[in-house]
Structure 1
Amino acid sequence: MDSISEITIFTVGDANAISTWSNVPYFFTKSIADKNIHVNKVNIKENALLNFIYRYTVYAFLKIFYKNTTHTYFRSRLNYFLTNIKIRRSIKRYNSSQAFIFLTFSFGIPKTKSKKIVLFGDWSYLYLIRNFHKREPFWFEKRALNCEEKNIRSADFVLSLFPESKKFNTETYKAHHCYYLGNVINSSFSIDKKELVKLKSQSKKLLFIGNKKYLQGALDLIQAFKEFNLSNNSEIELHIIGLNTSDTGITLRNLFQHGYLDKGNKDENTLYYKLISEARFIVNTNKNWGAFSAMTEAMYYYTPVITTPYSEFVATYGKVASFGFYVESESQKELGEAIEKLLKNTQEEYHTMMNAAHDKVKDFTWERYTDKLLELIS
């Protein structure tokens, strides 16, 4: 393929909005555009009205009998039909593109001789069902799964954000065009290492980032924080991003619940990075998944972590947590001990941990990622 000059990228949501899908579409499209490649952005997010109707009719009915299904309107026959019309029209409109990239595994197009077809995502729907819901697919989910398998098999390249996800796709779909190119840091906030080291070394602030999906992890941390402060007469602070008092139902001295902070809002963006810069460490011990993207971003800013040894995190960063501590999600005692150790570390021990956290993720920049992507499809 000749040097790439134009790419069309399909995103589930507005790629110009930094809040879309953990900031991924915004940084993905921006990074490619920064390389002087013309990027056509096509939003294939489902229709809001039809999504609302489906949620309170079909989906509500399914949830009565199949409580942990995630078969929303996005995976319905009607949405597939309407979205594929939009995709076909966009391909015709942007026919001069040398590559079509889908930031989802749920949609795609067959291979062509002159265009490269790329799927990019965190994991497939089947991976979600088997690894997070710990079950086999329900009968009504199988059509969406068949469509996704067809997309994965017919693409030129399938990129997963996580190594175990890539391995799953390769083995499940017998597809050798699946790749893991590393992960990414969804941030453009500039680093001043000297200032960060100073702030964090003097800090008594714990940080948690996660929405309602991570509520149990937040509640476990709040309890450990409460007990630590009571038993040690401590003045440490716990700051929570993504949840507020109405979500946790708890108010405590030195507990600050900031709710969702939108990076697209100047003031909220400033507060978000102020909290990361001042955090002595970040904690999320939610079972099975501990807000990977937020943890990775915090690590880039020299923040040690306390999390659980869930498979994708360990596969990415290793079994020995030189950059913090692994604890079991069920062990309140173990979490409390890890917090105490990190707060009582010597400056030398803490600085070693800070550097280890940053070193683990320093190469996960969007510039490096899209360089590898473009090299692959060229």
Structure 2
Amino acid sequence: MKKYPDADANIFLTFSFSSYQLSDQPNILICDWPYDYFIRHFKEKSPDFFERRSIKRDNQQLAGSDLVIVLFKSILPSMVSNFEDRKIKYLDQYVINSLYKVGDNDELTMKKPTHNILFVGGNNYLYISGAKNLVEAFELIKKEYPLAKLHIVGLEKTDFDQLPDGVTCYGYLDKGTQSGKQLYYTLLQSTNIYVNTNTKWSGLSTTIEAMYFHIPVVVFPYDEFISIFGREINFGYYCFENTAEKIADAIRNIFNESQYIQMCRNAHLAVKDFTWSSYAGKLLDEIESVVNKRL
């Protein structure tokens, strides 16, 4: 604020601090979810003494803001119930984080009759159970598809007790580096199925990027995904139980799908309009509206 005292607005990519009571310019917050939601929904517990202090700080910043942009639709009802609905906004769109532009049929020409499975996650409680169950599912289908391969991004070999043949762990791939970017997109281009069945969160942005590359998906029907794509999907399968047996069944269904190429097309078509330019336009319109009210 000292560097840009004449800015039209102060924008913060967090709910934890802002220019509330520090500036006369409009105070705008953009983030995924407040700390209270994170503790109660993902941690599944009541906040402790120190967490309550952080939650109180969040609530003060949110209450003192002129505009709050939430990134996920499923968080909107709880936010609106706790704060003035006039200033809590969801832009009704997600964004593809791909560094490549993919045409409607580009990746289809590269599809090969292979059995490559991709998982992208991280070595924390949100992802590890789904990854371990997927490894068990992979062992179940290996006899039927002996040439199948499972590629795991975001986890190391040491995160598992043991891995069967055909499973490769890459750890974290930094798309900001040439080598990381090249390997990541090579995996996407050669993948036949994307699987992440964690029940709370399956890495929405990564799933959407996989779909953009014409990849059918197997995911748990968590609230955010259903809010975007509905309770029935034509670009993969919902896995209603995060178990090895159910994951294996869903993988078999896609491997044996007679209309597999159409399923690939459906995946791409479901997300192809989630562009940065469209999202940025909506965001700027909201910011401009707040700024103009102050003029």
* Candidates 129, 133, 156, aligned match of 1:216: 129
SS for the counterpart of 1:283 is: strand
Could you tell me whether the CA contact under 8 Å between 2:11 and 2:27 is conserved in 1? yes
SS for the counterpart of 1:224 is: helix
Could you tell me whether the CA contact under 8 Å between 1:284 and 1:307 is conserved in 2? yes
1:178-197 alpha-carbon deviations (Å, 9 max, x no partner): 11112212222132443411
**Residues 233/327 of structure 1: CA separation in 2 closer, same or farther (3 Å cut):** closer
The equivalent of 2:81 in structure 1 is: 171
1:214-239 alpha-carbon deviations (Å, 9 max, x no partner): 12111111111111012x15311111
Partners of 1:332 and 1:278 lie apart in 2 by 23
1:222-281 alpha-carbon deviations (Å, 9 max, x no partner): 111111012x15311111111121112323221111111111110110010110111111
Correspondence 1:105-254 to 2 at 5 A: 105-110=15-20, 115-181=25-91, 182-213=93-124, 214-230=127-143, 232-254=144-166
Give the CA RMSD over aligned residues.
1.8
Partners of 1:330 and 1:373 lie apart in 2 by 36
CA positional deviation for 1:172: 2.1
The equivalent of 1:344 in structure 2 is: 256
Partners of 2:47 and 2:177 lie apart in 1 by 39
1:323-363 alpha-carbon deviations (Å, 9 max, x no partner): 111112443222111100101112xx222222222222222
Instruction: Mark the runs of 5 or more structure 2 residues left unpaired by the alignment.
Output: 289-295
Partners of 2:201 and 2:109 lie apart in 1 by 31
CA positional deviation for 1:113: 9.0
Instruction: Mark the runs of 5 or more structure 1 residues left unpaired by the alignment.
Output: 1-90
**Residues 233/370 of structure 1: CA separation in 2 closer, same or farther (3 Å cut):** closer
Could you tell me whether the CA contact under 8 Å between 1:108 and 1:119 is conserved in 2? yes
Structure with more of its chain in helix, by fraction:
1
The count of corresponding residues between Structure 1 and Structure 2 is: 285
- One-letter code aligned to 2:257: N
Partners of 1:358 and 1:120 lie apart in 2 by 27
The equivalent of 1:334 in structure 2 is: 246
The equivalent of 1:38 in structure 2 is: none
- One-letter code aligned to 2:140: E
Could you tell me whether the CA contact under 8 Å between 1:215 and 1:248 is conserved in 2? no
1:101-153 alpha-carbon deviations (Å, 9 max, x no partner): 11111111227996332111111111111211222222222221111111112
| Percent of paired sites with the same residue | 33
Q: Which has the higher contact order (CA 8 A, sep 6+)?
A: 2
